[in-house]
Amino acid sequence: MEERLFEMKKGRGRVWWWLYACSMQLGLLLIWVYRASHVPEAGARGRWAWIAVSAAELWFGFEWLITLSVRWNPVYRRTFQDRLSARFEDKLPGVDVFICTADPTLEPPTIVINTALSVLAYDYPPEKLSVYVSDDGGSIFTFYALLEASRFAKSWIPFCRKFNAQPMSPALFFSKSSATAHNSNVSEWTAMKKLYEDMERRIDAEMKRGDISNEIKAQHEAFSEWSSKTTSKDHQAIVKILIDGRDENAQDTDGFAMPTFVYVAREKRLNYHHNFKAGALNALLRVSGEISHGPIILTIDCDMCANSSQPIRDALCLFMDEERGHEYAFVQFAQYFVNLTENDLYASSFKIVHEVYFPGLDGQGGPFYTGSCCFHRRECLNGRIYSHETNKIWQERQRPKIHEESVGALEERTRSLATCSYEENTQWGNEMGVKYGCAVEDIITGFSIQCRGWKSAYLNPKRAAFLGLAPTTLSQSLVQIQRWAEGHLQFLLSKYCPPLYGFGRTKLGLQIGHIFCGSWGFSSIPTLIYVVIPSICIVHGISVFPSVSSFWFAPFAFVIAFSNAFSFWESHFYGATFKCWWNGNRMDLYRRTTSYLFALVNTTLKLLGIADSSFVVTPKVAHEETLKRYERGIIEFGSTSPMFTVLSTVAMLNLFCLIGGAVNVLAGGGMGALEQLSLQFFLCAALVLINLPIYHASFFRNDEGRILMNTTLLSVAIATVACFVPVF
């Protein structure tokens, strides 16, 4: 029997983990027993507060239970590329890479071309590689930058090949390596760096001018597609083949063939809904289907550059495995980020998600498709149902030869596939392609593929396959998470509701994994209860937890201590510092009280037909000063946002309650009161500690990123009033 192309291993230390999980469960059970047996009598002061806190605890317990789904049975995969090469090197399938960009200001063209160049330089036969950029911004600057990149690629690809340059994004590569690292080839290194910087300068210069010069426009007929009337929301479809891999004259400076490289801006009209990224991907699916028709598709965001030259081959080790390969519809890679700070200020590394949750989902037969860094079978995206007879041989559809169809004719033909009206009365966005109508189009699409009987796999190779850009301000980060939470909730409430639609089609663990994400929106309410009510009760001298001397104090202390100890140990195990963990806890709190809350409210409004769907693109650039603060680990507020008002109000409230409570105890309550309220004091003090940056940003900072005065005043006012509202 032939050796497998990949292997799967179970996670280590499972016995310890189960011990932890069982003792936590025991602690939770005891808490629930306490809650069930100690309900204050009707009419007692603070009865409703007590009940609300109990309900929140019940919810947290439920949340804990459903996270078991992503921790139950983690599996870790390893691939064997040497075996792949030995058996399949001459039968490798065509691979089409889709890069999406939507806005030339939020996503500057220099970022987009770095991503494009990085994948053009993959270690893969160039005649089998095609790269498509979808430009939802319909921007002449993005087009110009890509045109420049297509020329630069002729030197960049051979350079990467020769020096095994990684990451293959030139900007990153030159920022991370130095000429001396390429000792004997200093001159080539410096020459290439200069070539790149000159190109970058030309692009930036045109952007600064706000127009493309006539001289440049004369270089390519495609510039005539843009007129003074063209806007990102209103223009015809544009398809331009910048490098035609079929053309024998398309060669790099070493005389090797080049990958195909295509610019696509689908048609946009004001009276047509464009379905955001999902619409862009579907247009690319059709256009690429005519140009290269690669049976494997990689989708990436415009800021996710290739950090390693190997992921295509890694993914193929799964797809082409003789025994199991035919079961897999897509292979999701871990997403890493280049611009994280030392202590991961906004908790954007998602380390535990990568190292634990996704392997956990893999153990349930289906890591999610998360939009970027994922290889798909084209036929699965196109709606194919799983069967045992899935093509194991990767026959490529015969591509038309260059002399058979001119580039111009091909462009014209495919342009008609990217029009607004093309999808009318078709199954696109429904049974075919990426699904429409959900803010996490990726998750819902992946799930529906799994419901058609396919499996997915997760890979997290030693050398990160992709490096992206994480948000660099608090509001960007919270808005991004809001979109995700909203999307997951929408998904849960849609006809694809995982436990209903997925029943009998997918594993229970996977369905629960989706419920876990779908429940983020709801978890805002119990979290708000927990951070507000016990603190207010301190001021009123009302106890909502058992007192220190009671037996029932023990399970609370145990659960608090043990869960924090575990989560600290876990993040430490995966290389995080104490501050990372601390920042992670803060972000978890902030996401719950703002992103999740707003997601819940918005979803409700949408269900009622009051709000419309939107997609707030995360900016990939920031002001210099903002970036400096980010790098120094200072949280960026700086604007008025209802989210900041919520955060600041909660923080002020906790501060006032802590002070008010302490005064009460000192003034007369004495030790008895302290004993009664100890857990509340502990909770409140912990919240004050975690909110220190908010007090700092409200009262002590005077940079642009501080909390604005009106937000502070408003939240102080609300918090003061809240301290005095009667508690029932």
CB closer to Mn ion, 216 vs 353: 353
Q: What's the start-to-end Cα distance of the chain, in Å?
A: 72
Map residue 103 onto helix, strand or coil.
coil
392 known ligand binder: no
CB closer to ligand UPG, 46 vs 521: 521
Tell me, yes or no, if 321 is annotated catalytic.
Answer: no
The Cα–Cα gap between 590 and 485 comes to 13
Q: Give the single-character DSSP code of 237.
A: -
Six-digit token pair at 382? 């196109």
Residues in 275-304 at the binding interface with Mn ion, rule: CB under 5 A: 301
Asked if 515 and 460 count as a contact pair (C-beta separation under 8 A), the reply is: no
Q: What are the backbone dihedrals phi and psi of residue 668, each rounded to the nearest 5 degrees, phi first?
A: 180, -25
The active-site residue out of 123, 303, 314, 442 is 442
- Cα–Cα separations (whole angstroms), residue 344 to 451, 470, 586, 695: 36, 10, 11, 20
Map residue 332 onto helix, strand or coil.
strand
136 known ligand binder: yes
The active-site residue out of 96, 135, 136, 314 is 136
Map residue 587 onto helix, strand or coil.
helix
Map residue 98 onto helix, strand or coil.
strand
Which entry of Mn ion, ligand UPG, none binds 280, CB below 5 to 8 A by partner kind?
ligand UPG
- Quote the strand ranges of 274-341, DSSP E: 296-301, 305-306, 328-333, 336-337
CB closer to Mn ion, 481 vs 690: 481
Tell me, yes or no, if 96 is annotated catalytic.
Answer: no
Shortest gap between Cβ of 272 and ligand UPG (angstroms)?
A: 13
Q: Angle at CA 40, nearest 5°, toward 36 and 42?
A: 120
Q: Which helix (H) or strand (E) holds 8?
A: strand 6-10
Asked if 454 and 386 count as a contact pair (C-beta separation under 8 A), the reply is: yes
Asked if 581 and 630 count as a contact pair (C-beta separation under 8 A), the reply is: no
Q: Under 8 Å CB-to-CB from 688, ≥6 apart: which residues?
A: 651, 654, 655, 658
Going 472 to 477 to 483 to 489, the CA torsion angle's sign is: positive
Shortest gap between Cβ of 107 and Mn ion (angstroms)?
A: 9
Strands 296-301 and 374-377: antiparallel
CB-closest chain residue to ligand UPG? 371
321 known ligand binder: no
CB closer to ligand UPG, 275 vs 341: 275
CB closer to ligand UPG, 152 vs 333: 333
CB closer to ligand UPG, 101 vs 603: 101
What is the chain's Cα-based Rg? 28
Q: Give the single-character DSSP code of 303.
A: T
Residue closest to 240 by CA, chosen among 418, 407, 113: 407
Map residue 16 onto helix, strand or coil.
helix
CB closer to ligand UPG, 276 vs 598: 276
CB closer to ligand UPG, 308 vs 480: 480
Residue 466 forms beta bridges with which residues? 306
Six-digit token pair at 174? 């030159």
Six-digit token pair at 590? 């902030």
Shortest gap between Cβ of 101 and Mn ion (angstroms)?
A: 10
Residues in 339-368 at the binding interface with Mn ion, rule: CB under 5 A: none
The Cα–Cα gap between 542 and 46 comes to 6
Which entry of ligand UPG, Mn ion, none binds 546, CB below 5 to 8 A by partner kind?
none
Shortest gap between Cβ of 303 and Mn ion (angstroms)?
A: 6
Site string for Mn ion, 234-263 (x = CB under 5 A): ------------------------------
Q: Rule CB under 6 A: which residues touch ligand UPG?
A: 100-102, 107, 134, 136, 276-277, 280, 301-302, 370-372, 439-440, 442, 480, 483-484, 487, 615, 617-618
Shortest gap between Cβ of 239 and ligand UPG (angstroms)?
A: 16
CB closer to ligand UPG, 480 vs 524: 480
| Amino acid at site 264 | V
Q: In what order do the strands lie in the sheet with 466-468?
A: 305-306, 466-468, 336-337
Shortest gap between Cβ of 490 and ligand UPG (angstroms)?
A: 11
> Residue 727's CB: how many other CB atoms inside 10 A?
17
Task: Tell me which residue has tokens 């007879």.
Answer: 389
Q: Which residues of 416-438 are buried (b: 16+ CB within 10 A; e: fewer)?
A: ebbbbebbeeeebbeebbbbbbb
- Cα–Cα separations (whole angstroms), residue 625 to 383, 473, 703: 47, 12, 9
> Residue 170's CB: how many other CB atoms inside 10 A?
29
CB closer to ligand UPG, 102 vs 146: 102
Q: Under 8 Å CB-to-CB from 367, ≥6 apart: which residues?
A: 332, 358, 361, 456, 457, 458
Which entry of Mn ion, ligand UPG, none binds 107, CB below 5 to 8 A by partner kind?
ligand UPG
How many residues comprise the chain?
A: 728
Which entry of Mn ion, ligand UPG, none binds 102, CB below 5 to 8 A by partner kind?
ligand UPG
Residues in 609-638 at the binding interface with Mn ion, rule: CB under 5 A: 618
41 known ligand binder: no
DSSP string, 112-136: HHHHHHHHHT-SS-GGGEEEEEEET
Residues in 471-530 at the binding interface with Mn ion, rule: CB under 5 A: none
Which entry of Mn ion, ligand UPG, none binds 442, CB below 5 to 8 A by partner kind?
ligand UPG
Six-digit token pair at 451? 């419901």
The Cα–Cα gap between 726 and 491 comes to 39
CB closer to ligand UPG, 84 vs 438: 438
Q: What are the backbone dihedrals phi and psi of residue 270, each rounded to the nearest 5 degrees, phi first?
A: -60, -35
Per the annotation, binding residues are 107, 136, 277, 301
Per the annotation, binding residues for UDP-alpha-D-glucose are 107, 136
**Interface ranges with Mn ion (CB under 5 A):** 301, 618
Active site residues: 136, 442
Per the annotation, binding residues for Mn(2+) are 277, 301
